[in-house]
């Protein structure tokens, strides 16, 4: 399975010549795979060849080729996002038999497994992650936007069901990817990771807590938080979907949030804890790090996109993000605000990436590197 983020950038390459007002509603009919599909939402980009980037009223992004368009009509009205009730009906119509829906204030969870697992995910996201995300960025003086759409989570009963879904959506099997956030659908998909161990009554939350309070659950909890953090980052205004945001920043933030806390009943309590597996790998790699490792990571995403270097790149991204958020929070907040202004589908050169970074953190990369390494050694 290629990097879970990189597949998005391999989709249709639009050449943007117009950014229509995203608040204006449009109705579009397209034909795809022999089916007629009616979409309500807003045109975000119209390219030179009349390809479209379209944001539907449920938050899904559609890359539409000109030959797929059968009708296109502005309504003259303001685009109105789908409601939670409308989204519930839409999910039940789209998903396989056996799905039910659990609605919370910010999340709509379609689940095919026991209600106990769906409630555990709902509690983790709604009661823990969402308020912790707001509190953290509030302390950082980073202004968040309200999410336009209910945040959709899809939970399959088991791995085979999940694999079939991923194969349809991404075109290949997920491999070791047990959950993921899709930039295009704006949804987090996963399966019940406790299915092999949980066989109790439907409402027996205690047994699920026992499974998730085991040290072997650390990678599982980390992944669940990591993917939902991506979703919040893109829905609360930290980053724009399909903007050319460096992967170190995108993944570093999710890695900063993901570290589990097995003393907590939910398996996670707050962001910013030492991410022990990432930290250990960073230390193992330390002796062989090139002197310009940070500049390389900022300028180029390649190391995140290959199996040989991917894990090490993620460890480096966590470590550097941890350093910046703890030692240079004001500069980081300003940098984030600037990066959030990047437009979808507009490529940023390697040179510009580094220049953007240096605008807020200074041009002395060698000095920054020394401070970074001192910070990492103090965490031991």
Among 43, 78, 113, where does a domain finish? 78
Please, is 201 exposed, middle or buried when counting C-beta atoms within 10 Å of its C-beta (0-12, 13-18, 19+)?
A: exposed
Domain contains 254: no
Inside any domain, residue 269: no
Q: In the chain, helix, strand, coil percent, each to 5?
A: 45, 20, 35
Q: Which two tokens stand for residue 314?
A: 């993620």
- 287 belongs to a structural domain: yes
Helix, strand or coil, per DSSP, at residue 254:
helix
Verify that 287 and 177 share a domain, yes or no. Answer: no
Listed as own residue / partner, the contacts of 103-106 with beta carbons closer than 8 Å and 24 or more positions apart are 103/150, 106/130, 106/147, 106/150, 106/151
Q: Are strands 35-47 and 24-32 parallel, antiparallel or unpaired?
A: antiparallel
Number of domains in the chain: 3
pLDDT of 379: 87
Give Cα 188 distance to the centre of its chain. 8
Note whether 103 and 53 are same-domain residues.
no
186 and 282 co-located in one domain: no
* pLDDT on residue 23: 75
Residue 371 within any structural domain of the chain: yes
**Helix axes of 247-258 and 218-235: crossing angle, nearest 10 degrees:** 130
pLDDT band at 235 (very low <50, low <70, confident <90, very high): very high
* Residue 261 forms part of a structural domain: no
Same domain, 213 and 103: yes
Domain boundary among 78, 101, 121: 78
pTM across the whole model: 0.91
Shared domain for 96 and 222, answered yes or no, is yes
Q: What percent of the chain has pLDDT over 70?
A: 87
Domain containing 318: what range? 276-378
Distances (CA, A) of 65 to 11, 182, 238, 289, 377: 11, 20, 29, 44, 51
pLDDT in tens, 56-88: 999 999 999 999 999 999 888 888 899 989 999
- 55 and 94 assigned to the same domain: no
* Domain co-membership, 90 together with 233: yes
Q: How many angstroms from the chain centroid is the CA of residue 181?
A: 5
From 20, 55, 78, the end of a domain falls on: 78
């Amino acid at each position: 399975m290629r990097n879970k983020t990189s597949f998005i950038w391999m989709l249709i390459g639009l050449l943007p010549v117009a950014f229509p007002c995203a608040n204006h509603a449009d109705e579009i009919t397209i034909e795809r795979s022999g089916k007629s599909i009616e979409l309500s939402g807003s045109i975000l980009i119209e390219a030179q060849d009349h390809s479209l980037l379209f944001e539907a009223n449920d938050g899904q992004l559609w890359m539409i080729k000109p030959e797929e368009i059968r009708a296109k009509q502005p309504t003259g009205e303001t685009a109105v996002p789908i409601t939670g009730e409308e989204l519930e009906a839409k999910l039940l119509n789209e998903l396989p038999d056996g799905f039910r829906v659990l609605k919370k204030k910010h999340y709509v969870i379609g689940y095919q497994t026991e209600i106990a697992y769906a409630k555990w995910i709902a509690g983790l996201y709604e009661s823990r992650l969402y308020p912790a995300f707001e509190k953290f960025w509030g302390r950082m003086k980073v202004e968040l936007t309200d999410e336009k759409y209910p945040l959709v989570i899809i939970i399959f009963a088991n791995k085979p069901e999940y694999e079939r879904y991923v194969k349809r959506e991404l075109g290949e099997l997920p491999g070791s990817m047990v959950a993921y956030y899709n930039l295009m659908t704006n949804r987090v998909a996963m399966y019940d990771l406790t299915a092999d161990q949980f066989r109790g009554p439907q409402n027996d939350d205690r047994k699920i807590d026992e499974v998730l309070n085991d040290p072997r659950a650390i990678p599982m909890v980390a992944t669940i938080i990591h993917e939902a953090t991506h979703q919040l980052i893109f829905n609360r205004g930290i980053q724009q979907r399909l903007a050319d945001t460096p992967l170190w920043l995108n993944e570093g933030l999710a890695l900063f949030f993901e570290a589990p806390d097995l003393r907590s009943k939910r398996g996670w309590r707050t962001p910013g804890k030492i991410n022990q597996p990432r930290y250990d790998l960073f230390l193992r790699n330390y002796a062989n790090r090139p002197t310009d490792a940070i500049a390389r990571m900022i300028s180029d995403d390649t190391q995140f996109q290959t199996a040989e270097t991917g894990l090490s790149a993620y460890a480096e991204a966590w470590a550097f993000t941890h350093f910046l958020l703890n030692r240079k929070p004001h500069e980081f907040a300003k940098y984030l605000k600037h990066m959030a202004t990047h437009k979808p589908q507009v490529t940023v050169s390697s040179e510009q990436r580094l220049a953007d970074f240096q605008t807020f953190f200074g041009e002395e990369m060698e000095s920054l590197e020394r401070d970074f390494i001192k910070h990492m050694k103090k965490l031991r």
